[in-house]
Amino acid sequence: MKYLITGANGQLAKEFANYLEKNGQEFLALTREQLDVCNLNNVLEVIESYKPSVILNCAAYNYVDLAETDYVNAFKINGLALHNLSFACKKHNIFLVHYSTDYVFDGEKNDYYIEEDTTNPLNTYGKTKLIGEKLINSGLKDYLIFRVSWLYGRGKNNFLSKILEWSKEMNTLRIAYDEFSIPTSTKFVVENTLKAINCGIKGTYHLTPRGYASRCEIAKTFLNLVGINKFVLPVSSKVFNTPAVRPKFSAMSSKKISQLLNVDFSAWDKELKQTYQEYFK
């Protein structure tokens, strides 16, 4: 297998590069400057020169609030780029792996979302990610889309890194008690993605550890693990008045992929306990 990783400066891409390197696998990881997924000529040039068998698309526009006003860029990167990658993958017989989000759901189900549930994104970020999914599954057969949630790994653009930053500046952290999903480590995503590729699995799946938690519960668990003693005040998400509306309960069930892989996924807090030192110490 020969892997091409896009968006190499991102947290998931870094985890893939780290894992593939450690395991002596052949890969090329390119940053936005080296490969712009929004530019079809650039995509075709790179593919025709490197000839990967799998593309791990880790490029994304992940600024959920900014996307409300920066729609064009969010749409190009999360949507249109998937037309480019699907087109190039079909032309050159390459397997495409892509990541979507729990924010394709509206949070009104009040239960775990399964793959067959109706999507109804509440914000622009979720809408552009859903367009990306549709551009892949309307043009390709050989693909994997994994919907993941509240990803954390190496890098600053995740909820846990933000908690660490805030805890340096404040004694009381005001965290929402009314938004629920599942924190997911990049290590968990990488290991299970590579297993799925090796098993020849195709299609769209949810990929998260078990359980669910509110942001407030996650903050308390995390601060406890890293040994920082700060007061976490549970507040309504309304007080933050963010530009993007977020679903209240978007936890997804990963039963389907765990059965196909024949693996019992751990609960999110056990997973966090096992991985946090790699990223935050």
Whole-number Å distance between alpha carbons of 2 and 226? 37
Torsion of Cα atoms, 154 then 160 then 162 then 167, to 10°: -120
- Output 58 or 176, the one with its CB closest to ligand NAP: 58
CB of 278 to ligand NAP, least distance (A): 15
- Output 36 or 271, the one with its CB closest to ligand NAP: 36
Residues with Cβ within 8 Å of residue 37, at least 6 apart in sequence: 6, 7, 43, 57, 59, 77, 81, 84, 85
- Output 12 or 55, the one with its CB closest to ligand NAP: 12
- Output 6 or 253, the one with its CB closest to ligand NAP: 6
CB of 67 to ligand NAP, least distance (A): 11
CB of 229 to ligand NAP, least distance (A): 26
- Output 49 or 229, the one with its CB closest to ligand NAP: 49
Interface with ligand NAP by CB under 6 A: which residues? 6-7, 9-12, 32, 35-38, 58-60, 62, 77, 99, 101, 148-151, 155, 157-158
Q: Name the helix (H) or strand (E) containing 97.
A: strand 95-101
CB of 32 to ligand NAP, least distance (A): 4
Residues with Cβ within 8 Å of residue 251, at least 6 apart in sequence: 102, 112, 113, 149, 180, 181, 182, 208, 211, 212
CB of 171 to ligand NAP, least distance (A): 26
Residue nearest to ligand NAP (CB): 10
Distances from the Cα of 264 to the Cα of 115, 158, 170, 186, 274, angstroms: 18, 25, 39, 17, 16
